[in-house]
A and B are shown apart, each in its own frame.
Chain A
Amino acid sequence: MTDLFYLVPLLPLIGFLINGLIGSKLKNEKLIGTISTAAVFIPFVLTVLTMSELLSLPPESRKIIVNYFNWISAGNFSVNYSYLIDPLSVTMVLVVTGVGSLIHLYSIGYMHGDRAFAKFFAYLNLFIFAMLNLVLADSLILIFLGWEGVGLCSYFLIGFWYEKTFTGEAAKKAFVVNRIGDFGFMIAMFFVFTNFNTLEVSKFLEGLSGYQVGDSLLLTIALLFFLGATGKSAQIPLFVWLPDAMAGPTPVSALIHAATMVTAGVYFVARTSLLYAMSPVALNVIFIVALLTSLITATIALKQNDIKKVLAYSTVSQLGFMFMALGIGAFWVGIFHLITHAFFKALLFLGSGSVIHGMHEEQDITKMGGLKNKMKITYITFLIGSLAIAGIPPLSGFFSKDAIIFDSFLNFGIPILLPVLFAAGLTAYYMFRMVSLTFFGTPRYDVNQLHPHESPSTMTLPLIILAVLSVIGGFIGLPELYGTPNFLMDWLNPVFADANKTLAAIHPPHAHEVSQELIILVVSVVVAVIAIYLAFKKYSSVKEIKSPEGFGKVLENKYYIDEIYDAAIIEPVRKTSENFLWKIFDIKIIDGFVNGIARYISNISFDWRKIQTGVIQDYTAVSVAGVILIILYLLFI
């Protein structure tokens, strides 16, 4: 299967080229959508086959590097275009192409009639291509190419409806904020290259064996890479772009800003797990940042009224959960939550898209209510997604979140367990606030004006598939409590073997009893159920939403983080740029210097032009002078 593996990234690229170059001439939405969806679905099938091939190998040898060509070669610097096929990358490809193809399918219905239908699908395919490069690449340069590529596509797609001012601003914000993270990522790459003389991840990780655990160089690299991850995966301090990114079309939010791109940071930390295992400080930093992010954004989500904004903050919060798992050193758990989150968050976003579609572009949940009878499929699937994210057994979110909660208890004890449980409870609460406001109670919109309707089948089919996945997705990683084999852990752990060994050497694993696990499991379910009950009770029959006061107002305004960033960073930078760098340094000093030289040379030019008299005697005289000078020089100097 690895012979054909090059098709996996190639097909989306071809899809992009077809739709990008001739898409607007095809004028057939079905055809465009089919090409585009097939370009993602076929790679999914190919990857499933690759996975079965990997499974037939012994666990230690499930790592294949396919080298396609030498991409850059200059002196002793060389970059190969090579892919690393191992359980981790295959898992990521499956998520990207699997969820991706469902979202492509959904988009055919959602984007119906859009003036730039083909362009939209071209961008989606390009995004998939970049994302696949990101997760498959072995070279940091190629990873970075994918990293930037997904960022670029994200920029295009957030600003897809560019005639609205806000979308352009949001796209710009996403792009600029990500640049800060990318800066960290690049500096980390420079460190890797100067110290390890390679840019290939596999060689870099091998080279780590020459270092001590806790080495300050490794810590620096690890933190810089994590800075990159906070940009792409929206963690403190760089999470502010993600809520604004909801300005893009909803399928984009589902694909890029929930299921795939934003998990790139999680993936990358997992990919370089050994580096982090060898820098315990970095792991602690990750855990603290993740926990804070999770708490802060979960509280913000409590008071948001835009259906997509709630989901956006929820995404940031859930990404926090994934990073928490990584921070503990439970790398496979992070990926586990990444997978289940991809299912239920894509489901929720697509469900919200269906609601918005049915409500004729209304996004404010305070103006909805009672939709459960009007949009049956959307309602049921949305409810399943909400239960899954809230952590109700036996849905997928329950297993992955429970693993995180339990592992943080094992590592840090009760003091950390409480805030983690609190964050989990908040999740359940804000989700059911939203579900109640949207689907229950009485309509708060003008029933005479607006007639909500169920969406077409291209939209509901992906919802159903994703709902099924959200229900059963958790069974790939059952806790040992049940005594059943944990498929995902066994599948992924060979990738993390070195990291786990290093971690085990630092902290010998705690012996724990099954009873502890059972208690925590029950507690977390109880917390979720109570939160759901409270939310449902408060909001399911509410007639009118008052705007919050006191702390609620702070939450509604997102802790004024945007305003703080604006006052503390953006304004000072803008003022310095404008008043000094532009008006004085650029215009007076640089321009003055450059223009001065240009004017000088231009003047010389007009003077020297007169040398060319057009008189042949002059030419001869100059030539003879030249001859004499040359001969004299050669003979006497």
Chain B
Amino acid sequence: MIQLKELFDLIPLLIITFSATFILLIEVFVKKSETVIFGFTLISVISAIGTSFLYINKQLLIFNQYLKITNPAIAFIVIILTGILITVAASKQYLEKENINFGEYYSLLLFAVMGMMIMILANDIIIIFIGLELMSICFYVLVGFLRMRKKSNEGALKYLLLGMFMTGFILYGMALIYGITGSTNLTVIYSNPKLFTNFIFITGVALFFIGFLFKIGVFPFQMWIPDVYDGAPTIVSGMLSTAGKIAAIGTILPIILTLNMLNFRMVFSIAAIATMLYGNVIAIAQTNIKRLLAYSSIASAGYIFVGVAAMNEFAMKGIAYYLAAYTFMQLGAFIIVSILEKKDDGSRDYKNIDLSFYKGLGKRNPVMAIYMTLFLFSLAGIPPFAGFWGKYYLFYAAIQSNLIWLSVVGIILSLIGVYYYLKVTVYMWFTESEDIAIEDAVSVSGFGITATSLAVIGTIVFGISPNLFFKMFNFII
């Protein structure tokens, strides 16, 4: 029986759902509604974050066992919401700059978040599917939000086609799982370990996972990422590469860990290595900062899968921590790219996203350059920033499962990554800009500074005191 009081166990989700719907209504009744909507979105995201903390240490199964609240789930949700908060804060200036300051942007964003929260909290594969599709559909639209731009449309279409294609695998996998277990409820599915060796069940689980590997961008399902992140409005790319991926990982990670099917370990290990190799190596040849960051996000997915392959208690901790760190640094870097991007002048392409634009940035815009350097250093895994500890915990988890070879390969590959992160840093500080026509000062709005500063604070604070994160979400250390 579903009881009304169970709604109180879902306050953050309700806030987001209500806001997403309500924003569309505001547009109808309020003139010049963009600023109101912006403020309203900010407030609702903040209050969702705040209320999320109420559920720490409350293991709950609600709505006929359709939803399950756990500490890791809360952690993932808070990380996502923090990412969304930073995204929203930085969005206003970007949307105005690109002449796409429409209220539905915020609504779509919040619907996507709603989907993410649902899939993370889901205890039933059908619910997972609903959440996933809700999120994905919003993403398709958001990628194509710059509808006057060819690249944006192309990205949206590619994402849609490939996304639909991969959704087919998920559905087929779900059908096989249901066929063999007779249930869609995860608790029931978990309760029958004898089935775990059944080849139909294995195939079903594999197909189900593959759909998520696509969303996360793990080799060989990562092909869409550079094209989509390059085409999407920059701020959306940042959100996709963080919140979007975290939702997918947050959904399957508990399932992977609970099923604990060790025959998947080799698959994940190989996928992790291939992903790290692909991301880090090809990133070197990039000349466009958005594509570079896209490959960087592929490499990050590789690191995360080193942790996934570990399949032990440290994996959850390590991945959750890495994702928090990753949100701050990756999103921060994308936001800076979006801030530095040139104002829309009716042309068909993004401006100022070439790497050569970053030459001499240290002189032109020291604050942004310092922030960017910080994010890049953190992404490269240089202490004392959060990115360093993130990688540390992931490789540590792998070592605990005797996957020493995997950590060694991972560390070597992440060293290759240092090259392209430092390349941008060197461009910013140690070279002069070639193009004299580059606009000297880019005006940064207060919200832009706030958003990036938040990311900087996160990168530094979690870097200096990594234990703080585990204490916040009461992970057992």
- Min C-beta distance of B354 to chain A, whole Å: 16
Binds A, one of B135-143, B221-229, B378-386, B425-433: B221-229
Contact with B along A606-634 (1 / 0, CB 8 A): 10110110101011101101110011011
A630 and B206 within 8 A (CB): yes
Q: How far is the CA of A634 from the CA of B220 in the complex (A)?
A: 16
- Min C-beta distance of B463 to chain A, whole Å: 16
A633 and B165 within 8 A (CB): no
Q: Counting CB contacts under 8 A, is B158 at the interface? A: yes
Q: Counting CB contacts under 8 A, is B357 at the interface? A: no
Say whether chain B's binding surface is mostly helix, strand, loop, or mixed.
Answer: helix
B210 and A627 within 8 A (CB): yes
Q: Counting CB contacts under 8 A, is B416 at the interface? A: yes
A635 and B202 within 8 A (CB): yes
Return chain A residues, CB-CB under 8 Å to B203.
631, 634-635
Binds A, one of B104-112, B260-268, B313-321, B331-339: B260-268
**Contact among B223, B226, B266 with A633 in the assembled complex (CB-CB below 8 Å):** B266
> With A627-B207, A630-B210, A634-B263 in contact, is A618–B223 under 8 Å at CB?
yes
A627 and B169 within 8 A (CB): yes
B199 and A635 within 8 A (CB): yes
Return chain B residues, CB-CB under 8 Å to A630.
206, 210, 267
Q: How far is the CA of A623 from the CA of B158 in the complex (A)?
A: 14
Q: Counting CB contacts under 8 A, is A598 at the interface? A: yes
Q: How far is the CA of A127 from the CA of B414 in the complex (A)?
A: 40
Instruction: Count contacts on B: residues with CB < 8 A to the other chain.
Output: 33
Return chain A residues, CB-CB under 8 Å to B284.
601-602, 605
B282 and A605 within 8 A (CB): yes
Q: Counting CB contacts under 8 A, is B436 at the interface? A: no
Select from chain A the residue with minimum beta-carbon distance to B211.
A627
B263 and A608 within 8 A (CB): no
Report which residue of B166, B264, B281 has the largest number of chain A beta carbons within 10 angstroms of its beta carbon.
B281
Number of A-B residue pairs with CB-CB distance less than 8 Å in the complex they form: 71
> With A598-B419, A601-B281, A627-B210 in contact, is A633–B267 under 8 Å at CB?
yes
Q: How far is the CA of A598 from the CA of B418 in the complex (A)?
A: 12
- Min C-beta distance of B94 to chain A, whole Å: 25
Return chain B residues, CB-CB under 8 Å to A57.
none
Return chain B residues, CB-CB under 8 Å to A447.
none
Return chain A residues, CB-CB under 8 Å to B278.
608
Return chain A residues, CB-CB under 8 Å to B220.
622-623, 625-626
Q: How far is the CA of A612 from the CA of B165 in the complex (A)?
A: 19
B199 and A622 within 8 A (CB): no
Q: How far is the CA of A259 from the CA of B466 in the complex (A)?
A: 43
Return chain A residues, CB-CB under 8 Å to B202.
634-635
B206 and A616 within 8 A (CB): no
A623 and B282 within 8 A (CB): no
Q: How far is the CA of A590 from the CA of B408 in the complex (A)?
A: 21
Which residues of A59-86 have CB atoms within 8 Å of chain B's CB atoms? none
Select from chain A the residue with minimum beta-carbon distance to B220.
A626
A606 and B285 within 8 A (CB): yes
Return chain B residues, CB-CB under 8 Å to A625.
220
Which residues of B183-233 have CB atoms within 8 Å of chain A's CB atoms? 199, 202-203, 206-207, 210, 214, 219-221, 223-224, 226-227
- Min C-beta distance of A26 to chain B, whole Å: 26
Q: Counting CB contacts under 8 A, is A569 at the interface? A: no
Return chain B residues, CB-CB under 8 Å to A568.
none
> With A604-B281, A606-B285, A634-B202 in contact, is A623–B214 under 8 Å at CB?
yes
A620 and B165 within 8 A (CB): yes
Which residues of A488-531 have CB atoms within 8 Å of chain B's CB atoms? none
Return chain A residues, CB-CB under 8 Å to B457.
none
Q: Counting CB contacts under 8 A, is B148 at the interface? A: no
Q: Counting CB contacts under 8 A, is B162 at the interface? A: yes
> With A601-B416, A634-B263 in contact, is A623–B162 under 8 Å at CB?
yes
- Min C-beta distance of B161 to chain A, whole Å: 6
Return chain B residues, CB-CB under 8 Å to A609.
282, 285-286
Q: How far is the CA of A606 from the CA of B158 in the complex (A)?
A: 24
Return chain B residues, CB-CB under 8 Å to A608.
278, 281-282, 285
B158 and A616 within 8 A (CB): yes
Which residues of A588-606 have CB atoms within 8 Å of chain B's CB atoms? 598, 601-602, 604-606
Q: How far is the CA of A608 from the CA of B224 in the complex (A)?
A: 15
Select from chain A the residue with minimum beta-carbon distance to B420.
A605
12 further A-B contacts with Cβ under 8 Å, apart from A609-B282, A623-B165, are: A605-B285, A606-B285, A609-B286, A612-B226, A616-B161, A619-B158, A620-B162, A623-B220, A623-B221, A627-B210, A630-B206, A634-B203
Residues of A within 8 A of B (CB): 598, 601-602, 604-606, 608-609, 611-612, 614, 616, 618-620, 622-623, 625-627, 630-631, 633-635
The 9 closest A-B pairs by CB, nearest first: A626-B220, A619-B223, A605-B284, A605-B285, A609-B285, A606-B285, A605-B281, A622-B220, A608-B282
